[in-house]
Structure 1
Amino acid sequence: MSKTAPGSVVFENVTKTFGSFTAIPDLSLTIEPGTLVTLLGPSGCGKTTTLRMLAGLEHPSAGRILIGGKDVTMLPANERDVSMVFQSYALFPHMSSLQNVAYGLESSGIKGKEARERAEDALTLVGLSGMGHRLPAELSGGQQQRVAVARALVLEPQVLLLDEPLSNLDARLRRRVRTEIRELQQRLGFTAVYVTHDQDEALAVSDQIIVMQGGKIAQKGTPRQLYDRPASAFIADFMGEANVLACTVTAIDNGTALVDINGLHHRMPCDAISLGPAELAVRPNAICLEPAKAGDGFTGKIIHSAYLGDHVEYEVETASGNLFVVGPVVETPLQPATTVAISLNNQGIAFIGM
């Protein structure tokens, strides 16, 4: 649909202060044209402030912002070649879907038949052909979200901004709509900057993820890089939940390391690690439990279990701290107070900061 080439986004040493509070201390990043990049992090990490500066809703206190190579640092929102999909959708309740989509075109001077045809094309693009006559109240949450996306795309922006776009949808609908947004972005090739606090959402839609903490970039990379090779305990736990275990690397041989975790000896792949103390990020489903026998090296005691249909969640007290474990065996779950032997799979384990 879009006739406008996707634009790059560059932040050069951007700082944003609110009075005496520095929300963004010194941010530099580059987003390549035609990619979907997610700003991810907990509340207060600076991701929404970063998006608002890109949209022109806030201005930096220092530094520069460029879109498609053009310095837009101090330009108002209506002079930037971006469109935004808001968390609340921000649809006009008294307008039909078609009128909502056409509104931005008409405000920019495109009227009548051309505006209507382009709005109809945009609705077709998001799977709402023939539904232009419906008011927002006559649409489901997912359909309203797609109208909001169509309204943003019809303006053919260099960059599409999405601010927590799925937070008002239920879990099943979130999965479906995030897939639709990703497929649309890949098909049309526009640049998208997506803000969320939901790790699963970020993993599912992104070419690159930028995890923010305290207004700074904690780590950036592909979803697999961040999940498999977390740079810190914060990243390991934030990207899909992880147990952080202290260990000792006792031997390295042909790309594998032998680690000792409180008596558990485990061999695992490694790229660049040294002998001595280290930390492991261990995903809950990488831990195997079975009733302990005499001589088992690393043991613990189950202090809580919860049946969740297709798996059982355990909390296990160990000498390395309490572990969160997801077990696949639901027919004969282990009971609280059971002493268990702990072993590890290779899938779902990584050295932190390696």
Structure 2
Amino acid sequence: MITPRAGSVVFQNIKKQFGSFTAIHDLSLTIEPGQLVTLLGPSGCGKTTTLRMLAGLEHPTSGKILIGGKDVTMLPANERDVSMVFQSYALFPHMSSLDNVAYGLESSGLKKKEARERAEEGLKLVGLGGMGGRLPAELSGGQQQRVAVARALVLEPQVLLLDEPLSNLDARLRRQVRTEIRDLQQRLGFTAVYVTHDQDEALAVSDRIVIMKDGVIAQEGSPRDLYEAPASAFIADFMGEANVVPCDVISVEGADATIRIGALEHRVPSRNAKPGPAKLAVRPNSITLEPASGAAFPGQITHAAYLGDHVEYEVETSTGRLFVVDPAVERALAPATEVAVGFKGRGIAIING
């Protein structure tokens, strides 16, 4: 039976320079055994460099990396007890699926018969039992990715690394395969470090998300924490879009604060805010629109787009343009409609930066 040994991962004050350019600045991060942690961020933020250092494909300029309590900072990739699933799958095109999965086992010295038995087990684990004789070209993109996952898992690594594993798949397959990866990780309990630039993907698969920007950790936490309580305008906008608008905090009472935009008042979690000017992150689906004039927070629809199960609006207000997502398709509002803007109870947060 394939039983990956879940190991911890620790980055201690990691710095990585390429010549005069510093890609990673003093990064410290701990990943507990059995967690799936996603490194998320825009291109150039340092997430892939961090993964490559963990894999042993790059070495840090300073600091330490520990896997399962062992210092692996300067060890080569083949001595780290990790396996990697690449964006490009990296399958041998002339070898069958079974041979691709068995290749790493045979290279590590396992007898061919035992290697092939474990490879068969690995293919069954990812739902490809009986398909070991097919070449990669005879498989769909999703099936090829499952072969790559099986090849990594049969080595029973302490940590599974996944580098943009779904980026070559279409939208429907991405949803399917990400669900399969998450189910497999929870069932086997292995530690996984997952790199993506896709926010929905990160929200769907992660125990924790680490958002990186310019080589540092901008914020980390559970998917719900990052979505509902972003620490900055960058996090709010990166995690699923947000309208960032100025407001005034007019009172704070324990865990709640009352904010004002124009003449509209609304209660939100205080998040250590103090009375005075502040910024508010408002999710597009947390805004309500009602036809009205002379409203407490008036606006005018400048654009409306019907997208089947919802309508997207752009609304011009005194605080700037708002992006609104409204599921009420049966009463779609036309451009130039004067509206009263309101807020729902969730998806609204005071931000500090």
1:178 maps to what in 2? 178
2:101 maps to what in 1? 101
Percent identity over the alignment is: 75
Please state if 1:31 is matched with 2:63: no
Contact 1:314 1:326 in 2 (8 A): yes
Instruction: Quote the Cα distance in structure 1 between the aligned partners of 2:215 and 2:269.
Output: 33
SS in structure 2 at match of 1:134 = coil
Instruction: Quote the Cα distance in structure 1 between the aligned partners of 2:256 and 2:327.
Output: 27
SS in structure 1 at match of 2:329 = coil
AA of the residue aligned to 1:341: A
Q: Deviations over 1:297-339 (max 9, x none)?
A: 1111111111101101011111111111001121231111222
2:6 maps to what in 1? 6
1:334 maps to what in 2? 333
Contact 2:281 2:351 in 1 (8 A): yes
Instruction: Quote the Cα distance in structure 2 between the aligned partners of 1:41 and 1:83.
Output: 22
SS in structure 1 at match of 2:15 = strand
Q: Decide which moves more: 89-98 or 256-265.
A: 256-265
Q: Deviations over 1:107-164 (max 9, x none)?
A: 1111221001000000011111101011111111111110000000000000000000
Instruction: Quote the Cα distance in structure 2 between the aligned partners of 1:3 and 1:129.
Output: 18
What's the CA shift for 1:352? 1.4
2:252 maps to what in 1? 252
Instruction: Quote the Cα distance in structure 2 between the aligned partners of 1:26 and 1:268.
Output: 34
Q: How does 1:1-354 map to 2 (within 5 A)?
A: 1-253=1-253, 255-294=255-294, 296-353=295-352
Q: Could you state the TM-score of these two structures normalised by the residue count of structure 2?
A: 0.97
What's the CA shift for 1:254? 5.6
Contact 1:229 1:353 in 2 (8 A): no
What's the CA shift for 1:79? 1.1
What's the CA shift for 1:193? 0.1
Runs of at least 5 residues in structure 1 that lack an aligned partner in the other structure: none
SS in structure 1 at match of 2:249 = strand
Report the RMSD for the aligned CA atoms in angstroms: 1.3
Q: Decide which moves more: 302-311 or 188-197.
A: 302-311
What's the CA shift for 1:252? 2.9
Q: 1:259 to 1:30 in 2, by over 3 A?
A: same
What's the CA shift for 1:17? 0.7
Instruction: Quote the Cα distance in structure 2 between the aligned partners of 1:270 and 1:102.
Output: 55
AA of the residue aligned to 2:330: E
Q: Decide which moves more: 43-52 or 296-305.
A: 296-305
AA of the residue aligned to 2:341: I
Contact 1:219 1:231 in 2 (8 A): yes
Q: Deviations over 1:55-98 (max 9, x none)?
A: 01111111111111111111111111000000000011111100
What's the CA shift for 1:165? 0.3
What's the CA shift for 1:4? 4.7
Instruction: Quote the Cα distance in structure 2 between the aligned partners of 1:272 and 1:20.
Output: 39
Q: Deviations over 1:242-277 (max 9, x none)?
A: 001111111234643221012211123435332222
SS in structure 1 at match of 2:313 = strand
Instruction: Quote the Cα distance in structure 2 between the aligned partners of 1:290 and 1:275.
Output: 29
Instruction: Quote the Cα distance in structure 2 between the aligned partners of 1:6 and 1:301.
Output: 54
Contact 1:305 1:315 in 2 (8 A): yes
Instruction: Quote the Cα distance in structure 1 between the aligned partners of 2:269 and 2:47.
Output: 34
